[in-house]
Structure 1
């Protein structure tokens, strides 16, 4: 089966034939601008730590039109077991975090969202139903994103100030939507380890990018294809070592350590110790500022060193 032809190839021909104007225009459409790493973190901490949880719950099978009770039950696990365990660990260690919710997941589990917010954690936008925004008809992504923000505000009583796109897909329209919404930050792009300002066709936007990375994501180490002969799986101890190494690097460079986890992934009995052991490792290192994504973005925007 041949690979689908991209819109860019349909419009401009094969990439090897593109003019510099074409490929440079693609590169410059959304670009990393000035580094927003501050000269110092609050309380003169050496490193900022921003833990985040993408609470997808049932939306991934729903996004694919999958009605399987089995696969929907895997998402429900995130609500029944994952989030309670995560809240317990964070509460024991007094660590704030950011929870990104698809609006449909928040609508199915509103009491969970309110409880997470009451714990002092941030609630951020994470699509409507975990849709693949790159495949949506014109205008639909904008409508869904605005609807998602309104629904989260209705549930938790506060309009979100940041977003993370589903699957970290960033369409050609996403940045314009973020700008129209007046959001403080995005957390979907990967041009740096530390916060940076997004450029829109070379124009500074004032939007803070808090970059995630697949290396710092639990799902890639634990997901597997059920009906494939290949079923990759990484031992929790190995994942903990990777996360520790990523934090140690951020600490050495006086930067930001941002980690993405999923309640239905990290919340299992053999995996939740990763979160607790990592927090203990971070605290033992010392000189740390634990913060929500909003807190990090505001501090960086207000305290970044001059370009």
Structure 2
């Protein structure tokens, strides 16, 4: 049987949003903000050229803050025929929001998106993949067709479950009999899940921040390339058809040595029969 592999580059254009959203209210460091400006300007331009040179249409997930702060740069993405998806307003972790707050952020994000693109958004990815118990239901209520934040599978899309109704969380302040319970059956939503993976993401291994202990920044991109290639090789061997999403950020992948890694990795992907480079929306439609 002929292989069929749908490959989608998913770009999180966090720009300055992720830096000024410091989680604990501290003032953002000016050097960190400058990294976001690099991503919105230099990194975005380099990735756009990379995709254009290779005839690839990618999916760019944009916080509303990025759209409003860098309108001319983000217009290059829009006018280049790439898909644009939702990514919060200021890269806020929705897992820390109340349901009311999460709904207000979603409504404002859709408003900004529609003003920028002239249409209703199709997809969303949770900032930092921090999904709340209410996220899937909120997406369904707002008419969002797909999510790219969950990991029930690593290469096969599926219908996203409403996790709020499946788990009884451990509460040490209560008698154990109240929380010693198995998961219940998932309630399936009408939201398509296009799975992602931290293991195919440029941020943790190739980005450094003194204020973010979960990052490295000095890992050799050639080592990361091997890890990505090994994951693809396994999936290509085991499945006749699958999706393969690559999560990157302009302020990381826009760096010179990592751009070279993407060039090599793309050559590797293209060497396989049956691969197609598509947007996440195309995977959702199928």
TM-score, scaled relative to structure 2 = 0.84
2:255 partner SS: coil
Q: Distance in 1 between matches of 2:208 and 2:254?
A: 16
Mapped to 1, the partners of 2:205 and 2:193 lie a distance apart of 24
Structure 1 residues 282 and 158, CA gap change in structure 2 (3 angstroms): same
2:229 — aligned with what? 244
What is the deviation of 1:218?
Answer: 0.4
2-side partners of 1:284 and 1:230: how far apart? 33
Change (3 A) 1:156 1:45: farther
Unaligned runs of at least 5 residues, structure 1: 1-39, 300-307
Matching residue within 75, 94, 105 for 2:36: 75
The one-character-per-residue Cα deviations of 1:183-220 (angstroms, maximum 9, x if unpaired) are 11000001101101123343332211001110010011
Other-structure match for 1:224? 208
Cα separation, partners in 2 of 1:238 and 1:160, compared to 1, 3 Å? same
**Could you say which residue in structure 1 is the equivalent of 2:256?**
269
- Checking the alignment, whether the CA contact within 8 Å between 1:184 and 1:207 is kept in structure 2 is yes
| 1:215 equivalent in structure 2 | 199
Q: Secondary structure of the residue that 2:192 maps to in structure 1?
A: strand
- Displacement over 6 Å in runs of 4+: 227-231
Q: Does the aligned pair in 2 maintain the 1:132–1:169 contact within 8 Å?
A: yes
**Over residues 65-115 of structure 1, what are the superposed CA-to-partner deviations in whole Å (9 max), with x where a residue is unaligned?**
433221110110102211111011110110111000010011111122221
| Equivalent residue for 2:275, pick from 270, 273, 288 | 288
Determine if contact 1:102/1:148 at 8 Å carries over to the other structure. yes
Q: Is the 8 A contact 1:57 1:75 kept in 2?
A: yes
Structure-2 change in CA distance of 1:119 and 1:230 (3 Å) = closer
1:196 maps to 2:180:
no
**2: distance between equivalents of 1:229 and 1:180?**
36
Shift of 1:230: 10
* Separation (CA, whole Å) in 2 of partners of 1:228 and 1:106: 25
> Equivalent residue for 2:173?
none
Q: CA deviation at 1:226?
A: 2.2
Q: TM-score with structure 1 length normalisation?
A: 0.79
Task: Give the total of aligned pairs.
Answer: 257
- For the aligned residues, what is the CA RMSD? 2.0
Whether the aligned pair in 2 keeps the contact of 1:82 and 1:264 (CA below 8 Å) is yes
Q: CA 1:138/1:285 → structure 2, altered by over 3 Å: closer, same or farther?
A: closer
Residue 229 to residue 247, structure 1, CA distance change in 2 (3 Å): closer
Q: Distance in 2 between matches of 1:51 and 1:81?
A: 18
Q: CA contact under 8 A between 1:246 and 1:257: conserved in structure 2? A: no
